[in-house]
């Protein structure tokens, strides 16, 4: 039986410890993992190499600022200088399927170009902050998020990532896995104002090269400089501003924007209006983050370690349990419904009877996001004859997964947490709508619960809808101490 392959170490026959010793993250080549590069970790690093990388980013953004000050740039130059593809070869991001992404398109280019006349007008010449930070772009406009900044950063340090990967590959990976690749937009020539392409010997999977990334420049959820934090802690940041006149102006404008009996949303709206009225507030926020910079590395390390536990170590344990007890599990002969049901029920068995529930707990706290549950399930779909597609939208909203073998054999899988406030509504209507849109009557609903309270809520919902557990509805008990739901009468 061939070795089952999920992670970089599996595909290229290297030991996970070798990657760890090198400082690289052991990525999955089944699906993107929800991590991204945080440029602040480069800025605040003790590594001179990382500091040089951050300076390289700032230099290029400064070039864009200067080019934006004169006559309007033509479309060709905007395309050449501002637009970048997603670097999908590092297998990071928020793709629900594989490692595809949209990259940095015209919306990002337009936002960046306009920002040089507003929020980034003093870029490279800041007086309040210790340094320049590309993340400022995310602080004024909700549409430019962490994924855009990470993509931009990754593109601008791509030569480092290519050299970093090539060096490891030549020393640790068999030549049969390596191929030469001509990579576009590696370095920028400021004399000719053009991008340089270079050739590298790199590990190759499905005809494309694969990039390794140092784990100490990665984070999850939010970057250290975050719009959500800045808006949410507006008053706390105001209180920390040393200039009492500015502090008073910020606070007075903020208070005038608040209605009576203000809600949380009202507070966020008022903060947003105040920040747009007084953009210097952003620099005071960044300065505060710079002063507390030691925590940036501590928090990012915790987040990356949790990701490794959830999506690498736990998945590997889960696969090993399946493989040891039923290797034929990965080579089904049934239709997609039976194959899907077998995978779901085996997931249920491992979670409920083989301590598999632990894969959903990080430091004793259960995962409470459906996206994490869906990604963990996706990572177990390998060595299958079926196509596995995520977030398939045929006009009536996206379904979590569609498992198919041609047009005549399709099964839909929808995951829900019992804690979901719309559980009853979704069970009553959602999947039937998806079935009609996808022209199939085969679907499986999977519900995961973590507490007795969630179980009680779910039992009531099922009674109200006159539903029972079966092949079309599977309940998974992820409580640490549990009585199986199969023994509970509904």
16 contacts 26 by C-beta, under 8 angstroms: yes
> pLDDT tens across 315-343, in order?
777 777 766 666 666 666 678 888 888 88
Q: With H, G, I as helix, E, B as strand and everything else as coil, classify residue 354.
A: coil
- Residue 108 clears pLDDT 70, i.e. is over it: yes
In SS3 terms, 301-343 reads as HHHHHHHHHHHHHHHHHHHHHHHHHCHHHHCCCCCHHHHHHHH
pLDDT of 27 reads: 94
CA angle 430, 431, 433 (to 5 degrees): 70
Residue 36: pLDDT over 70: yes
Instruction: Name the E strands within 1-142.
Output: 36-37
Alpha carbon 39 to its chain centroid, in Å, reads 16
Q: Is 93 exposed, middle or buried (0-12, 13-18, 19+ CB in 10 A)?
A: buried
Whether 150 contacts 138, CB under 8 Å = no
Q: What is the mean pLDDT of residues 148-157?
A: 87
In DSSP terms, 203 is beta-bridged to 178
Q: Closest Cα partner for 351 from 459, 473, 475? A: 475
Q: Are 416 and 423 in contact (CB under 8 A)?
A: yes
**Residue 67: Cβ-neighbour burial (10 angstroms; 0-12, 13-18, 19+):** middle
What order of strands is seen across the sheet that includes strand 387-393?
Answer: 387-393, 398-404, 410-417, 443-449, 473-477
Return mean pLDDT, the chain.
Answer: 82
Q: Which pLDDT tens digit goes with each residue over 361-371?
A: 766 777 667 77
Inter-residue contact 403 to 410 (CB < 8 Å)? yes
Per the model's pLDDT, the better-predicted residue between 3 and 388 turns out to be 388
CB-based contacts of 385, cutoff 8 Å, min separation 6: 331, 332, 405
Let me know: does 49 contact 216? Beta carbons within 8 Å.
no
pLDDT at 129 over 60: yes
Residue 445 phi/psi, 5° resolution? -105, 130
Task: Please give the Cα distance from 96 to 93 (Å, whole number).
Answer: 9
> What's the mean pLDDT in 232-236?
87
Gyration radius of the chain's alpha carbons: 25
Predicted confidence (pLDDT) per residue in 160-199, tens digit: 999 999 999 999 999 999 999 999 999 999 999 999 999 9
Q: What is the mean pLDDT of residues 435-446?
A: 70
397 φψ region: left (φ > 0), alpha (ψ -120 to 50), beta (else): left
CB 112 within 8 A of CB 64: yes
User: Quick one: pLDDT at residue 205?
Assistant: 95
pTM of the model: 0.80
Give the closest residue to 212 by CA, choosing from 16, 4, 382.
16
Each residue's pLDDT tens digit, 457-470: 889 988 888 888 88
Task: Please name the helix (run of DSSP H) or strand (run of DSSP E) that holds residue 33, with its range, or none.
Answer: none
CA distances from 155 to 37, 267, 429 (A): 11, 36, 43
Whether 442 contacts 337, CB under 8 Å: yes
- Residue 450's Cα: distance from chain center in Å? 24
CB 435 within 8 A of CB 466: no
Query: CA-CA distance, 390 to 135, in Å (whole number)?
Result: 30
- Statement: residue 45 has pLDDT above 50: yes
Q: In whole angstroms, give the CA distance from residue 402 to residue 301.
A: 35
Beta pairing partners, 178: 203
CA gap 198, 447 in Å, rounded = 49
d(CA 100, CA 92): 10
Stretch among 192-196, 385-389, 480-484 having the lowest mean pLDDT:
480-484
According to DSSP, the residues that pair with 84 across neighbouring strands are 104
> What stretch of H or E contains 421?
none
Phi, psi of 392 (to 5 degrees): -75, 120
Distances (CA, A) of 245 to 70, 233, 250, 251: 35, 20, 9, 10
């Amino acid at each position: 039986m061939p070795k089952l392959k999920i992670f970089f170490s599996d595909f290229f026959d290297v030991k996970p410890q070798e990657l760890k010793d090198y400082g690289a993250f052991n990525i999955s080549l089944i699906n993107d993992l929800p991590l991204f590069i945080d440029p602040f970790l480069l800025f605040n690093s003790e590594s001179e190499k990382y500091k040089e990388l951050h300076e390289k980013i700032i230099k290029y953004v400064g070039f864009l600022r200067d080019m934006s000050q004169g006559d309007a740039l033509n479309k060709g130059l905007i395309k050449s200088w501002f637009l970048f593809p997603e670097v999908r070869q590092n297998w990071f991001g928020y793709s629900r399927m594989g490692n595809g992404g949209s990259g940095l398109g015209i919306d990002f280019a337009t936002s960046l170009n306009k920002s040089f006349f507003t929020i980034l007008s003093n870029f490279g010449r800041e007086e309040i902050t210790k340094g320049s930070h590309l993340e400022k772009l995310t602080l004024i406009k909700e549409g430019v998020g962490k994924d855009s900044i990470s993509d931009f950063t990754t593109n601008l340090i791509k030569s480092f990532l290519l050299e970093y990967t090539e060096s490891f590959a030549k020393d640790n990976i068999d030549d049969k896995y390596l191929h030469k690749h001509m990579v576009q937009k590696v370095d920028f020539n400021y004399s000719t104002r053009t991008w340089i392409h270079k050739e590298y010997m790199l590990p190759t999977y499905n005809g494309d090269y694969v990039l390794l990334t140092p784990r100490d420049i990665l984070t999850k959820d939010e970057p250290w400089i975050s719009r959500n934090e800045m808006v949410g802690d507006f008053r706390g940041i105001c209180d920390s501003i040393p200039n009492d006149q500015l502090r008073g102006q910020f606070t007075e404008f903020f208070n005038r924007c608040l209605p009576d009996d203000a809600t949380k949303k009202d507070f966020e709206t008022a903060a947003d209006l105040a920040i747009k009225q007084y953009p210097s507030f952003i620099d005071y926020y960044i300065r505060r983050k710079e002063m507390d910079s030691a925590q940036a590395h501590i928090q990012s390390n915790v987040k990356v370690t949790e990701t490794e536990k959830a999506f690498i170590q736990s998945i590997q344990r889960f696969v090993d349990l399946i493989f040891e007890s039923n290797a034929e599990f990965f080579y089904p002969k049934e239709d997609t419904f039976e194959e899907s049901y077998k995978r779901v029920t085996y997931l249920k068995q491992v979670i409920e009877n083989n301590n598999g529930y632990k894969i959903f707990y990080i430091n004793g706290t259960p995962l409470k996001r459906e996206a994490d549950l869906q990604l963990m399930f996706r990572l177990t779909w390998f060595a299958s004859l079926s196509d596995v597609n995520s977030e398939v939208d045929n006009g009536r909203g996206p379904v979590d997964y569609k498992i198919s073998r041609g047009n005549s054999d399709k099964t839909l899988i929808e995951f829900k947490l019992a804690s979901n406030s719309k559980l009853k509504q979704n069970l009553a209507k959602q999947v039937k709508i998806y079935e009609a849109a996808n022209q199939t009557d085969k679907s499986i609903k999977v519900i995961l619960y973590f507490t007795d309270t969630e179980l009680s809520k779910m039992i009531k919902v099922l009674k109200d809808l006159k539903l029972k557990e079966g092949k079309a509805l599977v309940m998974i008990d992820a409580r640490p101490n549990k009585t199986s739901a199969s023994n509970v009468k509904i």
